[in-house]
Amino acid sequence: MIGKLLNRLTGNNAAGSDSDAPSQGRSQKEKTATRPRNASNGAKSEPEIGAQPDKSPRSRTRSRGGRNRRRNSGAKQAPWDISQFPVPEVPGKTRFHDMGLETSLMHAIADLKFEYCSPIQAQSLPLALQGRDVVGKAQTGTGKTAAFLTAIIDDLLKNPIPEQRYAGEARALIIAPTRELVMQIAEDAKLLCKYTDLKIHTLVGGMDYSKQQHRLHDTLVDILVATPGRLLDFCRKQDVYLDQLEILVIDEADRMLDMGFIPQVRQIVRQTPKREDRQTLFFSATFTDEVQRLVEQWTHEPTTIEIEPESVATDTVTQRVYLVSTEEKYTLLYNLIRHEDVESLIVFANRRDQCRDLQDKLERHDVKAGLLSGEIPQNKRVATLEAFKNGTLKVLVATDVAGRGIHISGISHVVNFTLPEEPEDYVHRIGRTGRAGKLGTSVSFACEDDAFLLEPIGKLLGEPIKCTQPPEELLAETPPLKPSSRQRSSGPRSGGSRSSGSRSGGGARRSPRRPS
């Protein structure tokens, strides 16, 4: 802790041997805008991409931020004051007012109407704001994203760097396992940075590399949010430097372990300052022995906070589980979608091929449905999510990995076309509905292939799963499927309305688990 505070005062956050980095930290040597390409990250030397203008990127960034603020708040508007956001003291609750946060950050918090901290925010923020390492065990929906973002933003605002900085040199890094989660974290960060000059960058696969590269060269990066693979690409090409990193956040560590990303994360962490010289915030929904070993390797004298949600399955979600045959699943889904009380619906399946087939059948039944899976290009995934948000698409078909990070209010129904192999994913799925105080419905289909997964879900929920037979109206025969373009080019496929059989109907037990 003492070492971190001294480093913060002196600005010395260097990771190790850097031929261009001063031994006494930032304050001992003014830096130029473009960092020498052979300076760090252990990669071979490459020619400069281009010289930066004489004007400091820092000053240029500030002037842009100032114009944005005037446009948002009005040029003649009086400065905002905390008195404009009164929040009464309530016994047993912690206010954001009580954290001593920067005024510009509190202004954004007021806009978002965040009055009282969630349990993980109340417990982790005081420690994180002191520069302490924090390990949090928390499920999705507990407020952990706002907790670590608030800590990062306040720290960066309270400890500005007056010297000229290198392009691509991040001050805070957040690593998350999926593209959707990265985009969601970045959106939340932008809302909290609304009245600051802090710049947020995202690095995710499936999007144009050169566009992300040019933005890094043109605009300083204060908060970098990235998936492991794409971040490593940028580090190897020396477009990103992590040796001056002040804060490292590892989010959903258990999910990254499941997806096989930990070797990549290890490579990334090795490029950051030593754990004693940076602040690390580590979050995971579950703590296996492997996750615990990562905590020991990557954090320094952390405080562990364990938050159990008040209710594992939210009270605002009505849960229904129908016992059906594999062949009945699609019929049930189609009739459910046509039901009058279904406004918007997410269908979860375990595999990419299941999602592809479902979306294809729905489109052939004139149901506008979007597809989210790991094989879909990122720009198309972003457009699909936007269409679902604005109501252009009524149905979204998604895998678990692609579905993480979907935080959209107003989703009326969630369907588990196949039951998830991990009980925690069931909680995550049904949590996509019943948000922001609204009521929602989750419907799960349990067939002969995946009914055995109900028992572990029931144990997690704390009560056995009640199964019922579906109502007769949901088993009404579906209209004939229209031919698809694939059928016209390659000939008819068997099955008609029963083509929803074995391929889309389950088989989770027989297929190995893999990232989607």
**Which residue type sits at 65?**
G
116 near 94, Cβ under 8 Å? Answer: yes
pLDDT of 485 reads 58
Q: Please give the DSSP secondary-structure letter assigned to residue 237.
A: T
CB 334 within 8 A of CB 470: no
Residue-by-residue DSSP string for 244-257: T--EEEE--HHHHH
Q: How many Å apart are CA 290 and CA 206, to the nearest integer?
A: 29
What pLDDT is recorded for position 378? 72
Residues 6+ apart with CB under 8 A from 268: 173, 175, 228, 231, 232, 235, 242
Helix axes 228-236, 209-218, angle to 10 degrees: 60
Q: What is the enclosing helix (H) or strand (E) of 259?
A: none
Which tokens belong to 363?
């489109």
Q: What is the pLDDT along the chain (516 residues), one digit of tens a residue?
A: 444 444 444 444 434 333 333 333 333 223 335 665 555 454 333 333 333 333 333 332 322 233 233 334 444 567 898 888 999 999 989 999 989 999 999 999 999 999 999 999 999 999 999 999 999 988 766 789 999 999 999 999 999 998 888 899 999 999 999 888 899 899 999 999 999 999 999 999 878 889 999 999 999 999 999 999 999 999 999 999 999 999 999 999 988 887 889 999 999 999 999 999 999 999 998 888 999 999 999 999 999 998 865 555 567 788 999 999 999 999 999 999 988 788 889 999 998 899 999 999 999 999 999 998 877 877 788 888 889 988 889 999 998 865 566 767 778 899 999 999 888 888 888 888 876 557 889 999 998 888 888 888 888 888 888 899 999 999 999 999 888 755 544 444 444 443 333 333 333 333 333 344
**Sign of dihedral through CA atoms 184, 99, 287, 156?**
positive
Contact (Cβ atoms closer than 8 angstroms) between residue 497 and residue 481: yes
Please report the pLDDT score of residue 492 as a whole number: 46
Closest CA to 173 of 256, 99, 76, 273: 273
- Cβ atoms of 451 and 323 closer than 8 Å: yes
Domain boundaries, the chain: 2-14+57-306, 317-498
Helices vs. strands in the chain: H and E counts, helices first: 18, 14
Q: 45: Cβ–Cβ under 8 A, 6 or more apart, which residues?
A: 37, 38
CB atoms within 10 A of CB 135: 25
The answer to whether domain 317-498 has CATH 3.40.50.300 is yes
Q: Find the radius of gyration of the CA atoms of the chain.
A: 25
Residue 11: CB partners within 8 Å, gap ≥ 6? 25, 26, 27, 161
Q: CA–CA separation, 53 vs 58, rounded Å?
A: 12
Largest CA distance in the chain: 76
Pair type for strands 369-372 and 345-348: unpaired
For the record, the structure tokens of 15 come out as: 């990771």
- The pTM assigned to this predicted structure is 0.62
Cα 487 from Cα 515, distance rounded (Å): 29
Looking at the DSSP assignment, which residues form a beta bridge with residue 248? Answer: 173, 280
Domain 2-14+57-306 matches domain 317-498 at the CATH topology level: yes
Q: How many beta carbons lie within 10 A of that of residue 317, not counting itself?
A: 21
Residue type, 196: T
Over the stretch 113-150, which tens digit does the pLDDT of each residue have?
999 999 999 999 999 999 999 999 887 667 899 999 99
Residue 262 CB-density burial (10 A; 0-12 exposed, 13-18 middle, 19+ buried): middle
Do 222 and 156 contact (CB within 8 A), yes or no?
Answer: yes
Classify residue 422 by its DSSP letter: S
DSSP for 79-119? Answer: PP-GGGS-----TT--BGGGGT--HHHHHHHHHTT--B--H
CATH T-level fold of 2-14+57-306: Rossmann fold (3.40.50)
